[in-house]
Amino acid sequence: MNDFDPVRATNRPELLSAICQMGALNWAFTTKDLYDPAALRDFPAVQASYHALPPDPEPGNRLRAHSRFSLSHETGELLLMDGSDYSQSAEYNDDSGGKVRHFAAVSQEVLASSTLHHLIQIYEIIARATQPQLFAERDVTIGVHQIRYAPCGLAPAYSNPIVPHRDDERIVVVLLSSVSQNMAGDQNYLGQDRRNLGHCFRLQRPLDALVLGPDQYHGVGVMHSIDGRPAHRDILLVTFM
């Protein structure tokens, strides 16, 4: 996979900064500077893999794949779990909560990539530092979602739910893999509740990421193509629950 040293990594200022932001705000913005470039050597292949994603059957003009790992409490080992279905609780998603959504599994190439394992290692450090109780007594489920938002012509692409919401997962990393220049409307917003939005910005460069802490209200705008030609915004979600 990669030669990652978690002790050395925690001394890096970018990582400490992300942990401090999480403590102060319950969210953080991170960039490519958080990562070891050598561990991301296969990131171009991960980016290219979005072209082969199958459609998400839900409305929203997205393509999607999903897989999960289990992080063993006893051994720290990361094990791929069976199945790629996904569901959210009705309490957190009043649109498709409680419903089982059927997604294709993430490709073996991406699941085995140095990039994905490095991202999981980095965000596991942030998750352990900010949500230690999550790791205290049981195995942690790490979700991986590849999502392509693909507006075209006058057809928008959008998230589910479309309104400000919280996620079931305790830590959610929204990482930009790639975005086309003709994409618009893709601003992320954050709020203290559904009606009080406090921050709004775009993920613009590859590896820009928004890290959400527990029960953080958030959402993303309705996306459209500026020139009508196919546009894309490719997101990798890494979640801890």
**Chain contacts with Fe ion (rule: CB under 5 A):** 167
Q: Which residue is nearest to Fe ion (CB)?
A: 167
- Shortest Å distance, C-beta 167 to Fe ion: 4
- Shortest Å distance, C-beta 67 to Fe ion: 18
- Shortest Å distance, C-beta 102 to Fe ion: 19
Choice between 36 and 167, CB closer to Fe ion:
167
Choice between 56 and 167, CB closer to Fe ion:
167
Q: In what order do the strands lie in the sheet with 27-30?
A: 27-30, 209-212, 171-179, 233-240, 140-149, 62-71, 78-80
- Asked if residues 237 and 145 have their Cβ atoms less than 8 Å apart, the reply is yes
Choice between 21 and 188, CB closer to Fe ion:
188
- Please give the Cα distance from 135 to 123 (Å, whole number): 13
- Shortest Å distance, C-beta 196 to Fe ion: 17
- Shortest Å distance, C-beta 143 to Fe ion: 12
Helix (H, G, I), strand (E, B) or coil at 9: helix
Choice between 143 and 151, CB closer to Fe ion:
143
- Tally Cβ neighbours within 10 Å of residue 126: 23
- Asked if residues 158 and 238 have their Cβ atoms less than 8 Å apart, the reply is no
- Beta strand 187-193 pairing with 224-225: unpaired
Residue with tokens 């990594």, as numbered in its chain: 9
Choice between 124 and 167, CB closer to Fe ion:
167
